[in-house]
Amino acid sequence: MNEKQYTKLSKFLSLILRHQPEVIGLSLNSNGWADVNELISKLTSSGKQIDFETLENVVETDNKKRYRFNDDKSKIRANQGHSLNIDLGYEPKVPPRILYHGTGQKYEDSILKTGIEKRDRHHVHLSTDIETAKNVGQRHGKPIIFEILAEAMYNDGYEFFVSENGVWLTHNIPVKYLRKI
C-alpha cells in the first residue's frame, strides 16, 4: 500500500471506530473496542483489502496516534473523538496551566459568544503546544488559536482528561477561560 492508500484506510477506520461502525456492520463494546478479526472480516467484506499486518501498520504509523490495540492485539479502538455513546474510561487529571485549541477563523465569533462546546463529540480536544493547535485549525480553513486557561478552569471545578495519545480533553470551555492568540 502506498501512503495515499494508508491515509484513505486510516480515515475510513476513523469513521468506523469513532462514528459509524454500522457502515460495515461492526459491533463496538461499551468502551469502544472492536474485535480485530471481526473488523478485518467486515472491512474485507465491504471491499477493503486488509490483513492484520496492514491494520497494525496503520495503527503504528498514524501520525495522530488515533488508534490503539489492547495488550494482546485482539481488540482495537479509537483513542478519542467519538460521536458514539461509549465510555473510554478516562480518569480526571490535573491539566497544565495553559492548553491550546485550534479551529477555523469562521468559528471565531460563535466561540467568543458561547465558548467552545463539544457538540456531537464526547469532548473538546486541546493540545499542549501552539503548533499542534495550528495544524488542527488548518483543517477548518484559516486557522485561529485560542489559549485555554486550563488551570483556572480546573480550580473552578472543571474536569480534564488525557487520551492515550496525549490529547487533553474537557467537556466545554466557557468564554471567560479563552484568550485568542
Report yes or no on 84 lying in a domain: no
**Domain check: are 71 and 128 in the same one?**
no
Are 17 and 58 contained in the same domain?
Answer: yes
Q: Domain range spanning residue 123?
A: 99-180
At 30 the three-state DSSP class reads coil
Chain-wide mean pLDDT for the chain? Answer: 92
What's the whole-number mean pLDDT along residues 84-107?
92
Contact between 152 and 160 under an 8 Å Cβ cutoff? The reply is no
Q: What is the pTM of this model?
A: 0.71
The CA distance from 10 to 137, in Å, is 20
* Whole-angstrom distance, CA of residue 131 vs CA of residue 66: 18
> Mind listing the pLDDT tens digit for each residue in 29-86?
999 999 999 999 999 999 888 999 999 999 998 878 889 999 999 999 998 877 888 8
Is 138 among the domain residues? yes
Q: Into how many domains does the chain fold?
A: 2
Output the pLDDT for position 162: 93
